[in-house]
């Protein structure tokens, strides 16, 4: 805990105490009222955001509750989990290593995280089946379509494999699945706009260690983040998985640019026709 200010230590202590209380309550709820097991993770993520000083602003229209949805988002940091989880009752898709991490893996299990083993060939099918079952049951599943965290300054290409596999796992190739693009943009700190360096400092990627990064977040005092829901994309009979991934990526890029600059994406300039 060396180097943390008194206020940051108090907020961290509040988070630890609140987490313990919510975990105990969640263990009871899972047995006594499993249909309500999504409510306590929602409160946990809101507590996390409050203790870490994360202030959320939401734009656009989220999926209607209870209809089942595949949410496709960009990925910047471990903070993304709390930011999204504070808004909706949902589940995440994560790499299998997360399930083995101390404390974090236990919390992920309590939220019924869907794990994928990237080292094992054929793992996508099992993950897709789990995602498809959740969506068919009316749940919302979050897929970080870049496959990893970025550096906070750019969007990585979206991968279409899991998006399409989740559709096939629904059991009806002719059925449509609605994909909801979601953009996460860390816009500033302490009501001041953040530049490229500020966004990169909040990103958790590469070999960045968790504790120094958590300390940096606590030292920030207040972090502003914008969540932008894009127009839903109906994937299935008319739109392929690759096209759905392309449209979702384009939606996220556009929303991120607008969140950073405050200006909408300029209209596309039509290409000149080839001379006849």
Q: So what's the pLDDT on residue 271? A: 42
Q: What is the pTM of this model?
A: 0.86
Average pLDDT over residues 103-114: 92
Average pLDDT over residues 137-141: 89
Alpha-carbon span 54 to 49, nearest angstrom? 5
Residue 49 within any structural domain of the chain:
no
Measured between alpha carbons, how far is residue 121 from residues 146, 160, 167, 204 in Å?
19, 17, 19, 27
Of 171 and 188, the structure prediction assigns the larger pLDDT to: 188
Task: Give the per-residue pLDDT at 183.
Answer: 96
In the predicted model, is pLDDT for residue 170 greater than 70?
A: no
> What is the number of domains present in the chain?
1
Residue 141 is assigned to a structural domain of this protein = yes
Contact 163, 127 (CB under 8 A): no
65 in a structural domain: yes
Q: What CATH number has the domain bearing residue 137?
A: 3.40.1130.10
Q: Tell me the pLDDT tens digit for each residue of 229-239.
A: 999 998 877 78
**From its phi and psi, is residue 159 left (phi > 0), alpha (psi between -120 and 50) or beta?**
beta
Does residue 201 lie within any of the structural domains?
A: yes
How far apart CA 156 and CA 53 sit, in angstroms, is: 27
Question: What pLDDT score does 270 carry?
Answer: 43
Token digits of residue 83: 């930011």
Nearest to 108 by CA among 95, 119, 127: 95
74 Cβ neighbours under 8 A, 6+ residues apart: 144, 145, 146, 150, 155, 156, 183, 184, 252, 256
Q: Is residue 169 part of a domain?
A: yes
- Of the listed ranges 75-79, 143-147, 196-200, the one predicted with least confidence: 196-200
Assigned domain for 21 exists:
no
Is 12 part of a structural domain of the chain?
A: no
pLDDT tens, residue by residue, 70-95:
999 999 999 999 999 999 999 999 88
Nearest to 70 by CA among 243, 245, 225: 245
Instruction: With a cut of 60, say whether residue 123 has pLDDT above it.
Output: yes
Averaged pLDDT of the chain:
84
Mean pLDDT of 121-148: 81
Given a cut of 70, is residue 168 above it in pLDDT? no
State which residues form the domain around 246. 55-261
Across residues 22-50, what is the average pLDDT?
Answer: 93
Is 166 part of a structural domain of the chain?
Answer: yes
Q: How many CB atoms lie within 10 A of CB 146?
A: 19
Contact indicator for 247, 233 with CB cutoff of 8 Å: yes
- Environment class of 197 (CB within 10 Å of its CB; exposed 0-12, middle 13-18, buried 19+): exposed
Q: How confident is the model at residue 272 (pLDDT cuts 50, 70, 90)?
A: very low
Question: What string of H, E and C letters represents the secondary structure of the chain?
Answer: CCCCCHHHHHHHHHHHHHHHHHHHHHHHHHHHCHHHCCHHHHHHHHHHHHHHCEEEEEECCCCCCCCCEEEEECCCCCHHHHHHHCCCCCEEEEEHHHHHCCCHHHHHHHCCCEEECCCCCCHHHHHHHHHHHHHHCCCEEEEECCCCCCCCCCCCCCCCHHHHHHHHCCCCCCCCEEEEEEEEEEEEECCEECCHHHHHHHCCCCCCCHHHHHHHHHHHCCEEEEEEECCCEEECCCCCHHHHHHHHHHHHHHHHHHHHHCCCCCCCCCCCCCCC
């Amino acid at each position: 805990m060396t180097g943390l200010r008194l206020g940051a230590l108090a907020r961290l202590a509040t988070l630890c105490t609140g987490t313990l209380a919510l975990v105990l309550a969640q263990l009871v709820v899972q047995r006594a009222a499993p249909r309500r097991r999504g409510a306590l993770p929602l409160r946990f993520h809101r507590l996390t955001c409050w203790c870490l000083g994360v202030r959320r602003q939401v734009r656009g229209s989220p999926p209607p509750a209870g209809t089942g949805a595949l949410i496709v988002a960009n990925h910047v940091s471990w903070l993304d989990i709390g930011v999204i989880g504070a808004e909706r009752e949902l589940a995440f898709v994560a790499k299998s290593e997360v399930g083995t991490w101390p404390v974090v893996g236990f919390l992920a299990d309590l939220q019924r995280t869907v794990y994928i083993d990237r080292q094992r060939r054929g793992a996508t099918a099992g993950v897709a089946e789990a995602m498809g079952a959740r969506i068919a049951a009316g749940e919302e599943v979050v897929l970080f379509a870049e496959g990893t965290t970025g550096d906070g300054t750019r969007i990585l290409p979206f991968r279409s494999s899991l998006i399409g596999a989740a559709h096939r796992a629904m059991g009806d190739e002719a059925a449509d699945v609605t994909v909801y693009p979601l953009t996460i943009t860390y816009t500033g700190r302490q009501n001041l706009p953040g530049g490229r360096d500020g966004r990169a400092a909040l990103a958790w990627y590469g070999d960045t260690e968790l504790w120094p990064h958590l300390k940096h977040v606590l030292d920030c005092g207040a972090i502003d983040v914008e969540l932008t829901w894009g127009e839903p994309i109906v994937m299935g009979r008319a739109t392929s998985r690759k096209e759905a991934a392309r449209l979702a990526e384009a939606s996220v890029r556009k929303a991120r640019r607008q969140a950073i600059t405050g200006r909408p994406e300029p209209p596309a300039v039509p290409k000149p026709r080839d001379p006849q």
